[in-house]
Amino acid sequence: MPIRKVMKANEAAAWAAKLAKPKVIAAFPITPSTLVPEKISEFVADGELDAEFIKVESEHSAISACVGASAAGVRTFTATASQGLALMHEILFIAAGMRLPIVIAVGNRALSAPINIWNDWQDTISERDTGWLQFYAENNQEALDLILIAFKVAEDERVLLPAMVGFDAFILTHTVEPVEIPDQELVDEFLGEYVPKHAYLDPSKPITQGTLAFPAHYMEARYTVWEANENAKKVIDEVFAEFEKRFGRKYQKIEEYRTDDAEIIFVTMGSLAGTVKEYVDMLREKGVKVGVAKITVYRPFPTEEVRELAKKAKVLALLEKNVTFSIGGALFQDFSRALINEKEKPVIVDFILGLGGRDVTFKDLDEALGIAQKALAGEEFDEVNWIGLRKEIL
Amino acid sequence: MAESPFKAEIERVQKEYSEKMTPGAIAVIPGSSVVNKTGSWRVFMPEFNRDKCVRCYLCYIYCPEPAIYLDEENYPVFDYDYCKGCGICANECPVDAITMVREVK
Ligand code: SF4
Ligand code: SF4
């Protein structure tokens, strides 16, 4: 029987790692995800997880050790956040290019300067072009589930790409919620053992990994990463379906909530989706036609699903905890790209909010709604809006 | 010009490797680095004057690649597949039997 325990998302991530039975975990502590490797080190020390726990001197080393371990042919896991993920940047490309199915749990946190340990999505969003798959969890249960799902997708022969699972700093990493821990046997059946077909260490069959590629091969190598990202779309759907069958929890690349007759759909990710669902419930009682679309899978970008979503609404209001300079938020760019050649398309309004742990309140959402309603009425509106900004101190 | 002693292996690897990209661009054939013809980076190439050569083998010793073989009569032979045009041989030759010339493809 699955057991239910009250735990933080950090612990849920550690439990997911334990259930996935990685052979190597290399990690360096960083707020807010320190508890993930701490908890894993306990599992290893207590003999509950048979793995090599490597204590390294930086995140660059952590991911490098993971690349080495994964290239040797074992399931590999680490956790980080913010500056730590940024320090991994160089190696993230290498992991994707070498097609190593490493999984990272990321406690989504703002980037310096100024130093800020609280939540936004700038860290993972900044790594969106590394070739890694990206999943975003709304709550602690999703943090656990999506890590298991990430392993399954990453290790699929049609994909073979590393994956990161983001969950909001403090809002999830340090907040306790009931989480269902699935049975080990069921997880074993779901994930199976990782049997590497391409990357492994076998002295009797030597290969060279991380090679040099001349101009005659580099472009093709990059294309295979592109192709693997495209393949991942189908594989993710399959894995979501299998996960639902085995564990009873349903996941979709874009989860819709009360969108059916919505005129305005708020689009968001992570824990903010929970807040916005609550807000939408409140508005629905007043007869306002609004809905929510939650992006669970951000890379590969669910272009087809976005096009379907766009047919349902007159206005898409994107709520983003990240900044892409000159653009607005990253979602604004992605959504614009997905819809640019569609004949009928909704108006897109972009909102930047909640950066560096700023609370997103119903008052903020009222402000966003007001602007979205202007757009709906055909009035003039700003494409990019910073919500909850303390203009008086600027 | 004498043939590289790796010719057969190079051709075999080239054929097999050029057909398909492995996931992660893994080189599946040991020693496939042999096919990386570093000579393609060259801008200048050594031009050899056999009449001046005194067979001291300084060029042979100093070539960092090593892209110089010796022929049956022990004269240096340059393997342009791997010669990267660094000019060290020309610099070391005591009798100026080697000159570097701009290579035009
Ligand atoms: S130019 Fe350099 S690489 Fe070429 S033969 Fe001379 S020493 Fe060797
Ligand atoms: S260094 Fe000059 S003289 Fe000596 S073997 Fe080479 S080419 Fe001949």
> pLDDT for B25-55, tens place per residue?
888 766 656 666 777 778 999 999 999 999 9
Distance CA(A60)–CA(A86), nearest Å, equals: 9
H or E segment to which residue A149 belongs: helix A140-155
Give the model's pLDDT for residue B22.
Answer: 84
Q: Provide the residue ranges of all domains of chain B, joining segments of one domain with +.
A: 1-36, 37-104
The complex scores an ipTM of 0.79
Q: What average pLDDT does chain B have?
A: 85
Percentage above 90 pLDDT, chain A: 95
> pLDDT for A338-367, tens place per residue?
999 999 999 999 999 999 999 999 999 999
Helix (H, G, I), strand (E, B) or coil at A293: strand
Average pLDDT over every residue of A16-29: 98
Q: Is B57 in the pocket of ligand 2 (CB under 6 A)?
A: yes
Band (pLDDT 50/70/90 cuts) for residue B5 is: low
Residue A253 contacts residue A174 (beta carbons within 8 Å): no
Q: What average pLDDT does chain A have?
A: 97
Which string of DSSP letters, residue by residue, matches A203-219? TTS--B-S----HHHHH
Instruction: For the domain covering B37-104, report its CATH number.
Output: 3.30.70.20
Min distance A211 CA to chain B CA atoms (Å) = 7
Distance CA(A283)–CA(A369), nearest Å, equals: 10
Ligand 1 neighbours by CB, cut-off 6 Å? B 46, 63, 65, 67-68, 78, 83-89
Single-letter residue type at B70: L
Is B49 in the A-facing interface, judged by CB distances under 8 Å?
no
Give the model's pLDDT for residue A205.
Answer: 80
Single-letter residue type at A73: G
Distance CA(A85)–CA(A78), nearest Å, equals: 11
Do the Cβ atoms of A208 and B30 come within 8 Å?
Answer: yes
> pLDDT for A102-124, tens place per residue?
999 999 999 999 999 999 999 99
Residue nearest to atom 8 of ligand 1 (CA): B63
Residue A354 contacts residue A360 (beta carbons within 8 Å): yes
